Amino acid sequence: MLKREIRAKIGIFVIAAGILYSNIQFLALNYMIYTDKMRMYSDSPQRKELVGIKERYKLLKKSLPEHGRVGFITDDINRAYNSGADYFYAQYMLIPVLVLNSSKPDIFVSRFYNPVKPEFLKEKKLEIVKDFGGGVMLLRKRGS
């Protein structure tokens, strides 16, 4: 059995080594993330990927009523709800208007990633009210 003094010294060495290891790991992580060699949060868009989009939603908000409910439409569900989080950004930017993941409302906001085909709009029975660019549009149901 080791003497208490020696055990204490080894203990302090172990904890110092643990902290040093964590610091080195942290230093490497800092460098990798700062230089974009690694992406820590893959399912959240970074500031540079949102350039323009937030401003477009801000402009769109001015065309909406003060409060109420609108629908959300996209041509890439996976991107809008997962990797790009655009649906969530749309809701965040348009508060206090509620952006529903539903086809019930008469007014819709969009985030299209590809040029919109007239057939797509015809199929969904929608018409464009205003195009804010970058796939952000205000649409309404035909005849509403």
Partner 1 sequence: MLIYSFIISFMIGISLISIILKERTGILLKFTLGSGLGLAISSFLYFLWVLSGADFIYFQGFELILAFTLLFIVYKNNTFDFLKKTDKDENENYSFIFKFFQLNFLFSLFLALTFFFVIVQKYPDGLRDAFTIWNAHAKFLLFGQHWKDCLTNDIMWFHPDYPLLLPGIVARGWKYCSNTSEIVPITLSFFYLFGTIALVGSAIAALRGKFQALISSSIILGMFFLVGCGATQNADLPLGFYILSTIVLIKLYTEFNNKYLLIASGMAAGSAAWCKNEGLLFLYSLVAAGFILMVFSKKLWQNRDKICRFIAGLAPVLLIIMFYKLKLAPTNDIFLLQTPELLTRKLLDASRYIIALKYFVGSVLFMGGFASPFVLVLYNLLTGFKVNIKKDFTVCLTFLTLAIMLFGEFFIYIITPHNLEWHLETSINRLFIQILPVFIFCYFLITHSLEELLDDKQ
Binding site for partner 1 (CB under 8 A): 4-5, 7-8, 10-12, 14-23, 25-27, 29-30, 33-34, 40-41, 43-44, 46-47, 66-67, 69, 85, 88-89, 91-92, 95-96, 98-102
Minimum CB–partner distance for residue 122 and partner 1 (Å): 27
Minimum CB–partner distance for residue 99 and partner 1 (Å): 7
- Specify the residue, 95 or 127, whose C-beta has the smaller distance to partner 1: 95
d(C-alpha 57, C-alpha 27), whole Å = 37
For residue 125, how far is the Cα from the chain centroid?
28
- Specify the residue, 96 or 143, whose C-beta has the smaller distance to partner 1: 96
- Specify the residue, 63 or 82, whose C-beta has the smaller distance to partner 1: 82
Residue/partner pairs of 78-85 with CB below 8 Å, 24 or more apart: 79/113, 80/111, 82/43, 83/42, 83/43, 84/45, 84/49, 84/111, 85/43, 85/44, 85/45
- Specify the residue, 8 or 129, whose C-beta has the smaller distance to partner 1: 8
Minimum CB–partner distance for residue 14 and partner 1 (Å): 5
Minimum CB–partner distance for residue 57 and partner 1 (Å): 12
Helix then strand then coil, % of the chain, to nearest 5:
45, 20, 35
- Specify the residue, 17 or 142, whose C-beta has the smaller distance to partner 1: 17
82 Cβ contact list (under 8 Å, min separation 6)? 43
